[in-house]
Amino acid sequence: MNTKMTRRTFLKAAGGFAAAAALPVGLVEVARGQKPGDKFTFAYISDSHITQIKGSEFVRNFDNGLKKAVLEVNFMDPQPDFVVFGGDLAQLGKKEEFEHGLEMMKDLTVPVKWVTGEHDYYLDLGKYWQEKMAPLYYSFNHKGVHFVVLNSILTDDDWMYKRWPTPEERMLQMARLDNPDGSPFMVKGEQRAWLKKDLEKIGAQTPLIVLSHSPLYKIFKPWNFWTDDAEQVQTILKPFKNVTVLHGHVHQVLYNQIGNIAFKAFMATAWPWPYPLTYSQLPNMMPVITVPMNRADPFKERDGTGWGYIQYNGGLSYTHELWENSPRVVKKDPKMNRPGDTQYQSPAKRIPPQKHY
C-alpha cells in the first residue's frame, strides 16, 4: 500500500495559506510500505553536538538545530517509519549533554535507530550510550532491507587506554577534528568478525544498508574523514548486490561509489564542515562525483545544516533538507550506476556557490 501526499495536496487538505504560513518545512512526498519489498521512508538526523557551557546553560545555536530537525521530522506526513540518528549527539560525551539532547529527541513521534559518534564515545567509552540509547553495534530487518549499525569510531588500544591521563583529556583530544595528536577511526577485528557472521544470515540479493558514523572509506586522514580498516569492511560487504553505507561525521553533502557500495553522508544539525579540498596544505581524496553543497553563509546561523530523508523503492533516493537552501536530491543514476544529484550533477548545471576553494 502506498500513500502519497505532496506539499500542495496536504496544504489544500489543511486549509490553505494560514496553514502554509505556520508550517516549518515543506511537507514531502513519502513512500511507505507494509510488506517486504514495499516502499518506505526513513529520516536521518545527525551531528547535533549538544554543548554544555556550564550548569543548565547550553550552546543555543546547536540546541536550535536539533530542535528544528525534530520538529520538521514530526511534520512529515505521512510519518517516516523511523529516524536514524547518525552520531555525535553530545560535544564532549557528558551526561548533561546526553540528557539535554535526549530531552529534544524524545519529542520525535517515530522510533530512533542510534549510531554512536566519537563525541559520544571517548569520555566513558560508550557506557552511557549503551545504557540509554542502544548497543554500539547491532542489526535489524525492515521491510525486506537488512540494516547494520557499526561503531566505526574506535581506534587503537594504546591511544584509547594509555595515551591520555584522564577520560576528559582523551575526549577533548578526540573532539578536535584537526588534531595532529589524533588517531584514525577503525571498526576493528571484533566487529568485523561479528559483521561477517551477521551477514551469513542474508542472501546476496537482500538490500543492505550499513549505518556508521565515519565514512567507511578514505577521504582525508588529518580530519578523520577516514576509517582505517575501511577496505577490510568493504571486502566483507562485497558479495552483496545492493549495498549502501549511510554516515554522518562530515557535516556535509557527500556521496561516492566504490565497486558495489554506494556511500552517502548527510549534513549536521549543528554546523557545516569545509570540504577537505579547502585545506590547501595537504592532498585529499574527496570523491569526484560529489557536487558540493553551497558555501555556507556564516551570517545565517542554520545555513549549511539540516537533516534528510531516504526513500526506499527498490533503489534509494536521498533528500537533503538544507535549511537556508533549496532541498538537494541525490539518487542512483541508472546509466552511470552510481549516485548523482538530480539537478546539479552535470558540470554545466552547477552554480557558483558550489565551488569551494
Partner 1 sequence: MRKLLSLSILLGLAMIGLTMLIAYADPFTEADLKKWNEAFRAVVKEGDSLFHSSKLGKNSVSCDMCHPNASNSHPETYPKFQKQLGKVVGLRDMINWCIQNPLEGNPLPADESKMIALEAYITYERRGVKLEPGKH
- CB of 60 or CB of 238, closer to partner 1: 60
Q: Which of 141, 297, 337, 349 binds partner 1 (CB under 8 A)?
A: 297
Grid coordinates of 85: 540518528
Identify which of 282, 288, 150 has the alpha carbon closest to the alpha carbon of residue 223: 282
- CB of 222 or CB of 327, closer to partner 1: 222
- CB of 23 or CB of 59, closer to partner 1: 59
HEC secondary structure over 3-53:
CCCCHHHHHHHHCCHHHHHHCCCCCCCCCCCCCCCCCEEEEEECCCCECEE
Residue written as cell 527498490?
A: 314
Q: Is 223 in the site for partner 1 (CB under 8 A)?
A: yes
Q: Which of 46, 48, 51, 252 binds partner 1 (CB under 8 A)?
A: 51
Q: Is 185 in the site for partner 1 (CB under 8 A)?
A: no
Q: Which of 194, 279, 327, 333 binds partner 1 (CB under 8 A)?
A: 279
Q: Which of 222, 287, 315, 327 binds partner 1 (CB under 8 A)?
A: 222
Report the distance separating Cα 26 and Cα 29, nearest Å.
10
Q: Is 285 in the site for partner 1 (CB under 8 A)?
A: no
What DSSP designation does 317 have? E
Q: Is 61 in the site for partner 1 (CB under 8 A)?
A: yes
- Considering only 25-33, 93-101, 174-182, 308-316, which stretch makes contact with partner 1 by CB under 8 A? 174-182
Secondary structure percentages of the chain, helix, strand, coil, to 5: 25, 20, 50
Q: Is 311 helix (H, G, I), strand (E, B) or coil?
A: strand
Compute the chain's Rg from CA coordinates. Answer: 20
Count of residues engaged in binding partner 1, rule: CB under 8 A: 25
Q: Which of 299, 314, 335, 347 binds partner 1 (CB under 8 A)?
A: 299
Side-chain-facing half-sphere of 213: CA atoms under 13 Å: 26
Q: Which of 5, 160, 177, 329 binds partner 1 (CB under 8 A)?
A: 177
Summarize as ranges the residues that interact with partner 1 (CB under 8 A): 51-53, 59-61, 176-178, 222-223, 271-274, 278-281, 295, 297-299, 356-357
